[in-house]
Amino acid sequence: MNAAPEPPVIDAHAHVFVKGMPFTDTAWTRPDYEYPVETYLAELDAQGIAFGVITAASLFGDYNDYSLAALARHKRLRATVMLDPDTAPRELADLKAQGVCGVRFQIPLEAELPDLTGYRFRRFVTRLADAGMHLELNLGGEQLGTMLPALADHGVRVVVDHFGLLRSENEMEGPGFKAMIEAIDRGLTFVKISAGFRLPPESLSGYAARLLQVAGPDRLFWGSDAPFVGAEDRMTYGEALATLYRIVPDARDRRRMSDAALRFYFF
In a domain, 165, yes or no: yes
Q: Is 160 helix (H, G, I), strand (E, B) or coil?
A: strand
Q: Tell me the whole-structure pTM to 2 decimals.
A: 0.94
**Is the peptide bond preceding residue 200 cis, with omega within 30 degrees of 0?**
no
In a domain, 46, yes or no: yes
CATH code for the domain in which residue 53 is found: 3.20.20.140
Q: What percent of the chain has pLDDT over 70?
A: 96
In a domain, 249, yes or no: yes
Range of the domain at 162: 10-266
Task: Count the domains in the chain.
Answer: 1
In a domain, 1, yes or no: no
Residues 42-69: tens digit of each pLDDT: 999 999 999 999 999 999 999 999 999 9
Task: Tell whether the model's pLDDT for residue 110 goes beyond 80.
Answer: no
Sequence-distant (6+) residues with CB within 8 A of 140 are 109, 162, 164, 165, 166, 167, 168, 176
Per-residue pLDDT at 254:
97
In a domain, 175, yes or no: yes
In a domain, 122, yes or no: yes
At what angle are helices 89-98 and 119-130 packed, to 10 degrees? 40
Task: Tell whether the model's pLDDT for residue 105 goes beyond 80.
Answer: yes
In a domain, 93, yes or no: yes
Give me the residues paired with residue 17 across strands. Answer: 35
In a domain, 5, yes or no: no
Tell me the pLDDT of the chain averaged across its residues. 92
Task: Tell whether the model's pLDDT for residue 205 goes beyond 70.
Answer: yes
Pairing of β 158-160 and β 134-137: parallel
| Section 101-106 average pLDDT | 96
Decide which of 87 and 173 is more confident.
Answer: 87
Alpha helix ranges (H) inside 103-200: 119-130, 141-150, 162-165, 175-186
Residues 125-134: tens digit of each pLDDT: 999 999 999 9
Task: Tell whether the model's pLDDT for residue 71 goes beyond 70.
Answer: yes
